[in-house]
Amino acid sequence: MAELTYREAIARGIAQEMRRDGNVLFLGEDVAAAGGVFKGTTGLLDEFGPVRVRDTPISEQAILGAAMGAAMTGLRPIAEIMFSDFFAVCWDIVVNEIAKSRYMTNGQVSFPLVIRAGNGGGLRFGAQHSQSVENWAMAVPGLKVVVPSTPADVIGLMAAAVRDPDPVLFLEEKALYPTKGEVPDGEVVDTLGRARVLRSGAHATLVALGNMVPRATAAAEQLGAGGIDCTVIDVRSLVPLDTHTILAEVARTGRMFTVEENPRLCGWGAELVSIVVEESFFDLDGAPVRITTPHIPLPAADALEDLAIPSVERIVTTVEKAMNQ
């Protein structure tokens, strides 16, 4: 068992799959010699060389066009889009080509590729470099979407994503890059579409994703000290979505709170609420509650950004208010 940072786990996860399968290659802007702008791919060029680890021009369209072509020929590319915000300049390739071409060719062409991107706020990068875009992606048929919250999940879910026959958007939480966690020795392989129950409680279920997972866990500890015993679920995968685990836990506690680093309108939590109300309405003891960012561009100013993103304190206050009504 080793302790790794989230960013170290990225390099280990990619290297694990490149050692296992010679068809796996890695490309992106400054990912080779520089080791990535967030230093998440350090050492890959030294081990695998410039044929399999390739620096690209500053062109998201070129990166994903090359990755799509490589996947069509039988390779398994991992492509990096530096900030998830930059999907905005290459979204046509993702949505209208990568996501749809297997369907439109009746399965004659497959696209086993992974697109990595640094996602989310909290680092004072401003509105154009701090968005959480998982809501964009989960609305597109043909894409799988995963968001790991721990170093072990980074490696395990990366393995699952690389080995999957469909395109996977692998969104890494920038605010979690320096965080540490234990990772098992040897090969680590997980499964897409499985949520994880991190804490079991009797009174309410907190459902969180990415950077909101450690905040929801910390909030649950505080709430427990005050007599409100909370389950915490790490969603991990939005597409496929583990509705079985979520519905079972919400039915057991009778209350659900989603914790989302997304603008409130049309967030992934809204989809979960609709599923829970449709499938488990009579198991609920109160209305589901969404804890989100406001529907605003994320501020760069420290105090304003901290106010916009759900904090441990806001989670605790919101749950206490709802549970005591």
171-193 tens-digit pLDDT: 999 999 999 999 999 999 999 99
| Torsion angle defined by CA atoms of residues 157, 158, 161 and 162, in that order, rounded to the nearest 10 degrees | -150
Give the separation between CA 173 and CA 196, rounded to whole angstroms.
18
Domain count along the chain: 2
Question: Is 190 within a domain?
Answer: no
Tokens of 278: 């449709």
What is the per-residue pLDDT across 63-107, written as a single tens digit (0 to 9) for each?
Answer: 999 999 999 999 999 999 999 999 999 999 999 999 999 999 999
Give the domain CATH number at 47.
Answer: 3.40.50.970
**The last residue of a domain, from among 129, 149, 183:** 183
Same domain, 316 and 224: yes
Q: At 276, is the pLDDT very low, low, confident or very high (cuts 50, 70, 90)? A: very high
CA–CA distances in Å: residue 150 to residues 26, 72, 158, 188, 236: 22, 31, 12, 13, 10
Last residue in a domain, options 155, 183, 211: 183
Give me the mean pLDDT over the 4-32 stretch.
Answer: 98
* Confidence band of 221 (pLDDT split at 50, 70, 90): very high
Residues 168 and 147 in one domain: yes
- Same domain (yes/no): 223, 130: no
Q: Per-residue confidence at 157, pLDDT binned at 50, 70, 90? A: very high
**Which residue bears the tokens 């890695």?**
26
Instruction: Assess whether 170 and 212 both reside in one domain.
Output: no
From 39, 108, 19, 134, select the one nearest 80 (Cα to Cα). Answer: 39
The residue range of the domain holding 153 is 2-183
Strand order in the sheet with 76-83: 53-55, 24-28, 76-83, 114-119, 168-173, 144-146, 237-239
Angle at 232 between CA 231 and CA 235, to 5 degrees: 135
Q: Which residues are catalytic?
A: 129
Domain closes at, from 159, 183, 207: 183
User: In 3D, which of 87, 86, 108, 112 has the Cα closest to residue 98?
Assistant: 112
- What residue ranges in the chain does DSSP mark as E strands? 2-5, 24-28, 53-55, 76-83, 114-119, 144-146, 168-173, 180-183, 196-199, 204-208, 230-234, 237-239, 256-263, 289-293
- One domain, residues 80 and 160: yes
pLDDT of residue 173: 97
| CA distance readout (Å), 119 to 8, 43, 45, 68, 177 | 17, 22, 24, 21, 11
Structure tokens at 289: 């509650």
Residue 132 has pLDDT above 90, yes or no: yes
Q: What is the pLDDT of residue 325?
A: 82
Neighbouring-strand partners of residue 173:
119
Which tokens belong to 253? Answer: 């506690």
319 in any annotated domain: yes
Q: What is the pLDDT of residue 253?
A: 98
Q: Which residues contact 296 (CB under 8 A, 6 or more apart)?
A: 263, 308
**188 lies in a domain?**
no
State pTM to two decimals.
0.97
